[in-house]
Structure 1
Amino acid sequence: MAAVANAPSMHPELLEAACHGSCSELTNLLNGGAADVPIEVVVDVDRPARPPASSLLLEGVTPDGDSALHIVAAYGYLKKARAVYDKAPHLLGARNGGGGTPLHRAARAGHAAMAALLVELARGEEVAGEDGRVETLVRMQNGLGETALHEAIRAGQMPTVAELMAADPFLARVPDDGTSPLFLAVSLRHEEIARELHERDKKLSYSGPDGQNALHAAVLRSRDMTELLLNWNKELTKKRDQLGNTPLHFAVSLETGTRGMLPQYAVPVINGTSITSFLNVVETPMDLTMLILEADAYSAYQPDEQGSFPIHVAALAGRLSSVIILLLKCPGCASLRDTHGRTFLHVAVMKKRYDIVRYACQTPMFSSIMNKQDNEGNTALHLAVEVGDWWSFTCLFANKEVDLNLPNNKQHTPREISVSSTPTGLYCLLHSRILIQQALISADATLHICRRDIMKKGPSTQSDAKIDAVISNSTQFLGLGLVLITTMAFGAAFALPGGYRADDHLKGGTPTLSTEKVFQRFLMANALAFICSSLAVLSLVFAGTPTVEIPMRYMHYNISIWLSFNGVLSLGTAFVLAIYIMITPVISGTAIMVMVVFSSLEILYMPSLVEKLVKFMIVVCGRVGILPVMLRSEMPKVMLLTIWPLMVIFGWQEYAWRHMWHYVPVAEKLVT
């Protein structure tokens, strides 16, 4: 503002008197008191005589452009405001650096009495012959295009809002374009103020920034306010912002986060995405979606500028409740495509929205879109394989309506995409991309039609280097765990539960519970834990030695992992059996509870691994049968090789107890 930039600085005595001094001090100063105001001598015959010193004093402004009237208005000093106005009436409409008037400052501070006074002063000017002075004052806009009513709403001051609306009943219609007072009240959740604005002017403005309207803000703020606006004006559902979004697009776009029940000590943060709460308790937009559809069902068929319909936005945000409402109220939404030719199922798969994919796959009415292809010929299964989402893949794979061999425009089948989209490296067997390939192989899914010697690429030096790096890094951490297991198993072999027999006993120095069935199981479990962990450490030595060739390192690395699982399982079993032996004779209930808790913690410790394995067996066996899975998949072999220690621990003990126990001398049996 040029006028503010060229204005002189406010005299310190005037600033102090306006902010903290008494009214008499300010009046004395304005009447020619102590302030020493420099007087410039200017000879200009075309201008009137130089104004008195008090008027020059009031021409000064603060660094942000506030005049004396701005300051006293902000502090709510009514008498001072009258005194300043009497000396300089033109300050009533003066603007500061931000374009705000004294009325803006009074409204922002929530001084309803000061706002009323300023309006009264403007009305006095109307009596003096300046028509429309009140309307001009209250409708003056600052640099942001906001009136004093906006400032009062932002401060949440209902009395000030009432004063301004009483001065100009049509003030809520200003500005014509941009953020209206109603939009601001809705966005700040001032429902009472919104009601007051509508009560005083039924034709108020609903506009907001970027082409939005108040309903766009309401659906993201409050259900009650959304219902209120729909009762006032149902046409708001048809209004689109600059990007083509309707209020329904906003209502279904509230992204839902996925969290488990366990607390997160290391919280992952993605720029632009809000973190989720511990219990993932968020307000569901189901009722908002229903409200908008009841007001205007056609809004479900209105796309944005990118061609995305509300059903696509809901799938993108992971809002299952909104998807269900949209599909139940408007079944035609299921086949709607965006500019890429994708249905809501394609979008849900790409964003890994498992709940929505599961709902679509379990609902028979959506069978027609299971194999629908986008502009590139990809079905939902193609995309699930490409992004490597195991959970969405299982839903599609379990649905027998899904074609596993349908090629896209590049003639690539899902299995071909699975092969080509998996980067070179060494993977865990339960890695999502490996499980996807295992499932497709078990179902005998086809590959791209071409020469197999061209499709297959031999190992490269680069791939060998990646595998070598993975093995070298993994052996360090795996070795620490295996050494710990070996140490624990070794110590347990000489600190047996129940202790040892006395030296004067027939079998002095031997374990007291040596003839107990459970104790024999404990010994077998502990021995297997020691043997498996020791052999696993030896295999890790070969796997981590750079001088050994890659194939042998790879083989021993796999052996060490297999034996590690066996060692952990055996050690855990030995622990449970030892607890059972020591506590059961005294408190059997506690022993059972300890074993239950221990088993539960083991399952909770690695839920994703167990869940993935179980899910694989269920969906693959359900699709292709048990025999093909046994013949084509690695999973049954892995499961069998993992649980064999349990078979040895309990099977050998039963065999020995039934067959070998009969050969123990009768005298020894009686003694023991």
Structure 2
Amino acid sequence: MTAVATAPTMHPELLKAACHGSCRELTNLLNGGADVPIEVVVDIDHPGTVCSPPSSLLLEGVTPDGDSALHIVAAYGYLKKARAVYDKAPHLLCARNSGGSTPLHSAARAGHATMAALLVELARGEEVAGEDGRVTTLVRMQNELGETALHEAIRAGHMLTVAELMTADPFLARVPDSGTSPLFLAISLRHEQIVRELYQRDKKLSYSGPDGQNALHAAVLRSRDMTKLLLSWNKELTKKRDQHGNTPLHFAVSLETGTRGMLPQYAVPVVNGTSITSFLNVVGTPMDLTMHILEADAYSAYQPDEEGSFPIHVAALAGRLSSVIILLLKCPGCASLRDTHGRTFLHVAVMKKRYDIVRYACQTPMFSSIMNKQDNEGNTALHLAVEVGDWWGFTCLFANKEVDLNLPNNKQHTPREISVSSTPTGLYCLLHSRILIQQALISADATLQICRRDNMKKGPSTQSDAKIDAVISNSTQFLGLGLVLITTMAFGAAFALPGGYRADDHPKGGTPTLSTEKVFQGFLMANALAFICSSLAVLSLVFAGTPTVEIPMRYMHYNISIWLSFNGVLSLGTAFVLAIYIMITPVISGTAIMVMVVFSSLEILYMPSLVEKIVKFMIVVCGRVGILPVMLRSEMPKVMLLTIWPLMVIFGWQEYAWRHMWHYVPVAQKLVT
């Protein structure tokens, strides 16, 4: 066995002197002015043989990550120390650490332009001594990541270091010819000045990036200005595809946009792999570079990726309505392009629930030809909307009379058939998207599959009675808590009437002071209805939440409790408004009016969260079927009556009590009152 040459560990005194000691201290150490022990390598097979290196091997020591003394002084920018180390060990100029980096990498990483210049000058001195190409060799040396010192300077954002390296080798921006080029790195880090500097130094620099990408792939995701620069420098970049077949246009249209509501999201839903929607508008709207790329190369809109998706499909997938519009206006043929599954951009938008894009397509007459286009499985966009349960996308398609509601797919399933089979057994809210979709299809008399109705297949998943029991029990707990609060407030209001009570020495002592007011009669009725409805709703919830009661009866009482709960809330809100009106109007009428305006405004702002789906349902069904058939054949009149009957009773009783009861009170009694 032969001796194995291993790099010795750097002595602590040398490491200290290289890091922060004086240059004289380091020089004395290198000249042998200190008693420094040197590590040796022993051949264990020949114990008598000991390799004792000379004192000059002190500089052969390295740190745990493989840095030599020249690496260290270069990283700290100590010019005199660097020259002193080089004078003793010139071979360290090209020495590599464990990551493959040279001292020049260390200097560039730390942003020491003067140190980089010194190292280049030392290499140039070796050229004078007869070693040709020494400078080029030094500056083009790559670490294990395939990066030169120029990459390190760009990553650190040091313009002076970049200039020094490009001066040493004007063609350095061409290295490497594949992988991450300096230009790609500068663009990805948004160093626009460095990008311009690299191009000005070398017009034929490398545009390559990782995974087959080029600099334009990075620019479209980073900066509009840099994208324009690259398009003006090299339009051929628009045609280059990465290893997955994506062109820069695929990247440009893939910037996903988040939906913003009127209110901030206090509970933020997070989907792994998807960015959240920020409520801080510190960044401008997403840059739409589709127009610039299409102006440079319109044919890029017709280049698919390896999965067959064209840029129009990617834009629909990401919800980029502006990109979709630009693509369709500049390249109308994109509308009929299909991916490997035979899907158009409308199919993709429906599957990803991109409501804005679906609405745009359905409201634009030029896209009528794709409304009923079927994919490889025979599904139209309506089939997919029903399958994924997208209510808002479904309403756009349903409202478009060009859309065929009865078209079967390859399995002979119509949209209504899919709606029936894709809804699992269970208990659903009336406003559930799948329930509303099926209701709309039934209202439009959409057809089912041609087969015996008693042999219709059940849905893919079912719930056992135990699971249904758990759903009802959990629902009744939350609803019951709210109903108890309503009942308590209504009960308390009955004994804390607005205006208080008459004094005991009054002929009608202990009676309500405002009992003679017309609005007071309405307040009493509203409060009574709130108490009665909430109490009965609690009773129904008891039946609905009792496991010993059979499921159908629990269904019935659960529905009754929801109806009574809504009536109780409506009555309690009306009682509050009437109480405010009675107490404040005689004194400050303006305040009373303002309170009622604020109360009504908040209700109007809140109600869309509850009724927007049902309102949209009525609009699209009436538009498709007609208003008269809906009103005559449906149960909507009954639903409306059961919804507003508390208001009819409250204000009807108020008017009746004032006209037919109060006026019969003897005049003398009125005067006493």
- The equivalent of 1:229 in structure 2 is 230
Deviation at 1:137, TM superposition (A): 0.4
Q: Deviations 1:409-445 (Å, cap 9, x if unpaired)?
A: 1111111111111111100111111111111111111
Q: Deviations 1:454-479 (Å, cap 9, x if unpaired)?
A: 11769999543332222111122211
CA contact (8 A) 1:500 1:510 kept: yes
Percent identity over paired residues: 94
- Give runs of aligned pairs for residues 121-132 of structure 1, distance below 5 A: 121-132=122-133
Hey, what's the Cα distance between the residues in 2 that align with 1:373 and 1:149? 53
Change (3 A) 1:641 1:3: farther
Hey, what's the Cα distance between the residues in 1 that align with 2:459 and 2:141? 76
Hey, what's the Cα distance between the residues in 1 that align with 2:198 and 2:41? 51
| Bigger mean CA deviation after superposition, 578-587 or 298-307 | 578-587
| Bigger mean CA deviation after superposition, 651-660 or 359-368 | 651-660
| Bigger mean CA deviation after superposition, 166-175 or 480-489 | 480-489
Hey, what's the Cα distance between the residues in 2 that align with 1:461 and 1:154? 56
- Give runs of aligned pairs for residues 230-629 of structure 1, distance below 5 A: 230-278=231-279, 283-285=284-286, 287-455=288-456, 462-629=463-630
Deviation at 1:617, TM superposition (A): 1.2
Deviation at 1:664, TM superposition (A): 3.6
Q: What is the TM-score with the length of structure 2 in the denominator?
A: 0.94
Change (3 A) 1:41 1:168: closer
SS, match of residue 177 in structure 2: coil
Deviation at 1:556, TM superposition (A): 1.1
CA contact (8 A) 2:424 2:459 kept: no
Deviation at 1:319, TM superposition (A): 0.8
| Bigger mean CA deviation after superposition, 474-483 or 207-216 | 474-483
Hey, what's the Cα distance between the residues in 2 that align with 1:374 and 1:129? 71
Deviation at 1:487, TM superposition (A): 1.2
Change (3 A) 1:428 1:632: farther
SS, match of residue 464 in structure 2: helix
Q: Deviations 1:487-546 (Å, cap 9, x if unpaired)?
A: 111111111112223344444332222232211111111111011011111111211222
Deviation at 1:666, TM superposition (A): 3.8
Change (3 A) 1:290 1:458: closer
Q: Deviations 1:112-141 (Å, cap 9, x if unpaired)?
A: 000000000000111111110000000000
Change (3 A) 1:287 1:536: closer
Deviation at 1:660, TM superposition (A): 4.4
Hey, what's the Cα distance between the residues in 2 that align with 1:190 and 1:103? 21
Deviation at 1:663, TM superposition (A): 3.5
CA contact (8 A) 1:259 1:279 kept: no
SS, match of residue 41 in structure 2: coil
CA contact (8 A) 1:442 1:632 kept: no
Change (3 A) 1:370 1:355: same
Q: What is the TM-score with the length of structure 1 in the denominator?
A: 0.95
- The equivalent of 2:28 in structure 1 is 28
Deviation at 1:446, TM superposition (A): 0.8
Change (3 A) 1:547 1:390: same
Change (3 A) 1:46 1:174: farther
Deviation at 1:627, TM superposition (A): 3.5
- The equivalent of 1:49 in structure 2 is 48
CA contact (8 A) 2:254 2:314 kept: yes
Hey, what's the Cα distance between the residues in 2 that align with 1:286 and 1:274? 16
| Bigger mean CA deviation after superposition, 657-666 or 406-415 | 657-666
Deviation at 1:577, TM superposition (A): 1.0
Change (3 A) 1:307 1:281: farther
Deviation at 1:47, TM superposition (A): 20
Deviation at 1:347, TM superposition (A): 0.6
Deviation at 1:48, TM superposition (A): 23
Deviation at 1:377, TM superposition (A): 0.8
- The equivalent of 1:637 in structure 2 is 638
CA contact (8 A) 1:251 1:285 kept: no
CA contact (8 A) 2:111 2:161 kept: yes
SS, match of residue 3 in structure 1: coil
Hey, what's the Cα distance between the residues in 1 that align with 2:497 and 2:521? 11
Deviation at 1:586, TM superposition (A): 2.0
Alignment size in residue pairs: 670
CA contact (8 A) 2:245 2:305 kept: yes
Give the gaps of 5 or more residues in structure 1: none
Change (3 A) 1:280 1:456: farther
Deviation at 1:268, TM superposition (A): 1.8
Deviation at 1:553, TM superposition (A): 1.5
Give the gaps of 5 or more residues in structure 2: none
Deviation at 1:248, TM superposition (A): 0.7
Change (3 A) 1:21 1:373: same
Change (3 A) 1:3 1:283: farther
Change (3 A) 1:429 1:2: farther
| Bigger mean CA deviation after superposition, 444-453 or 647-656 | 647-656
Change (3 A) 1:85 1:361: same
Change (3 A) 1:220 1:459: closer
Hey, what's the Cα distance between the residues in 2 that align with 1:576 and 1:4? 93
- The equivalent of 1:114 in structure 2 is 115
Change (3 A) 1:328 1:636: farther
Q: Deviations 1:362-406 (Å, cap 9, x if unpaired)?
A: 111111111111111111111111111111111111111111111
| Bigger mean CA deviation after superposition, 391-400 or 511-520 | 511-520
| Bigger mean CA deviation after superposition, 394-403 or 662-671 | 662-671
Change (3 A) 1:377 1:279: farther
Hey, what's the Cα distance between the residues in 1 that align with 2:569 and 2:336? 51
Change (3 A) 1:49 1:192: farther
CA contact (8 A) 1:260 1:279 kept: no
CA contact (8 A) 2:416 2:446 kept: yes
Q: Deviations 1:289-342 (Å, cap 9, x if unpaired)?
A: 111111111111111111111111111011111111111111111111111111
Deviation at 1:630, TM superposition (A): 3.5
- The equivalent of 1:157 in structure 2 is 158
Change (3 A) 1:498 1:321: same
- The equivalent of 1:201 in structure 2 is 202
Change (3 A) 1:535 1:605: same
CA contact (8 A) 1:258 1:280 kept: no
| Bigger mean CA deviation after superposition, 290-299 or 496-505 | 496-505
Change (3 A) 1:518 1:43: closer
Deviation at 1:629, TM superposition (A): 2.6
Report runs of 4+ in structure 1 exceeding 6 Å deviation: 1-5, 39-50, 458-461
Deviation at 1:662, TM superposition (A): 4.5
Change (3 A) 1:399 1:250: same
SS, match of residue 40 in structure 1: coil
Q: Deviations 1:25-71 (Å, cap 9, x if unpaired)?
A: 111111112x4455799999999999x84421011111100111111
| Bigger mean CA deviation after superposition, 133-142 or 661-670 | 661-670
Deviation at 1:6, TM superposition (A): 2.0
SS, match of residue 288 in structure 2: helix
CA RMSD of aligned residues (A): 3.1
Change (3 A) 1:97 1:606: farther
SS, match of residue 287 in structure 1: coil
CA contact (8 A) 1:67 1:91 kept: yes
Q: Deviations 1:179-209 (Å, cap 9, x if unpaired)?
A: 0000000000000000000001000000000
Deviation at 1:589, TM superposition (A): 2.1
SS, match of residue 289 in structure 2: helix
Deviation at 1:606, TM superposition (A): 4.9
Deviation at 1:249, TM superposition (A): 0.6
SS, match of residue 25 in structure 1: helix
Change (3 A) 1:633 1:375: farther
| Bigger mean CA deviation after superposition, 473-482 or 350-359 | 473-482
Hey, what's the Cα distance between the residues in 1 that align with 2:5 and 2:597? 78
Deviation at 1:3, TM superposition (A): 14
SS, match of residue 4 in structure 1: coil
CA contact (8 A) 1:486 1:533 kept: yes
Deviation at 1:623, TM superposition (A): 1.2
Deviation at 1:604, TM superposition (A): 3.5
Hey, what's the Cα distance between the residues in 1 that align with 2:245 and 2:198? 28
